[in-house]
Amino acid sequence: MFCPKCKSLLRPKIDRGKKVMGCSCGYSSETASSTITEKGAKQKEIQVVEEVETKPIVDAACKKCGHNKAYFWSIQTRASDEPETRFFKCTKCKVTWREYK
């Protein structure tokens, strides 16, 4: 349905406790011929069976437990003319740290 004033698309809104079709220009359609219904899709339940890390493993010493293997990823956290920030996550104790260079 379109607004007869500005030809914009009418959207459902609530006016005085009643659902009507309204426009941003202020027009509202109170005709009984239009019925507004709301439908929602049924949500499926997702069950996580196992948490799997997909990041590469590199040689990096953990400062907490001393383990020498860690997951590695990098993100541009500052301006584009500065180097990216490297993040590490220990494969043993799961502590995360960052390295700026």
Residues 6 or more apart whose CB falls under 8 angstroms from that of 85 comprise: 74, 75, 76, 77, 78, 98, 99, 100
Catalytic member of 45, 51, 59, 81? 81
The yes-or-no answer on residue 59 being catalytic is: no
Residue 101 CA to residue 96 CA, distance in Å, equals 17
Q: Which of 15, 53, 82, 99 is an active site residue? A: 82
Q: What is the layout of strands, in order, in the sheet containing 96-99?
A: 57-59, 69-75, 85-90, 96-99
50 included as an active-site residue: no
Separation of alpha carbons 31 and 63, rounded Å: 70
The residues carrying an active-site annotation are 81-82
